[in-house]
Amino acid sequence: EHTLDDQELLTWITKIHTAHPAYGAERVTRELKRQGPEIGRRRVARLMREHGTAGITRRKRRNLTKPDKHAAAAVPDLIRREFTAPMPGLKLIGDISCFPTSEGWLSLATVLDLCSKDLIGYAIAPHMRASLVIDAITAALPLPKTSSVQVTLHGGIRAGHRRSSRISGHRAARSDPDR
């Protein structure tokens, strides 16, 4: 049985939320426990939800990659959903992620070897351009002057555009339709 009825508890919640409008159910519960009554977080969350009381969300959701519905059919699956390789260096995959920092957004491009599942190359930059991916691939592959790798980027900042880069012996020549 509850030690406080809902109306009495709602008075405590309103008082705390008025003093700290950014507090959500978890912080309000913590503050209630400091002031005396032992109340569960779910009960506090239910009462806050029923009475339209909510904390302030500080982080905005950023959806950076938006696939182009028309381009998806034209993009071939080069590894054919086979995420293994018989020998190192045969199949490589990569990804780009963005992270918020105190100085702005930071982009990380990674290259993984599907045989060993090891991270073999990465690059970090404050932008998400094709040069970031090229830097990660260059770090992953110390290529001899005679070899080359074909890279196709899908999505990214300008979703739907295909960009190809040919890396030959640590030099990259870009063919970017946006430039």
Q: What is the pLDDT of residue 65?
A: 64
Binning pLDDT at 50, 70 and 90, where does residue 178 land? very low
Asked if residue 136 lies in contact with residue 121, where contact means CB atoms within 8 angstroms, the answer is yes
- Say whether pLDDT at 139 is over 70: yes
- Vertex 122, ends 149 and 169: CA angle to 5°? 30
pLDDT tens digit sequence for 41-53: 999 999 999 999 8
pLDDT tens digit sequence for 74-127: 667 778 888 888 988 888 888 899 998 888 899 999 999 899 999 999 999 999
For residue 117, give Cα distances in angstroms to 8, 89, 120, 139: 56, 11, 9, 16
Asked if residue 114 lies in contact with residue 85, where contact means CB atoms within 8 angstroms, the answer is yes
Sequence letter at residue 152: T
pTM value surpassing 0.85: no
Asked if residue 121 lies in contact with residue 110, where contact means CB atoms within 8 angstroms, the answer is yes
Average pLDDT estimate for 26-55: 90
Task: Give the integer Cα–Cα distance in Å for 140 and 123.
Answer: 10
Lowest mean pLDDT among 3-7, 17-21, 90-94, 163-167: 163-167
User: To the nearest whole percent, how much of the chain has pLDDT over 70?
Assistant: 68
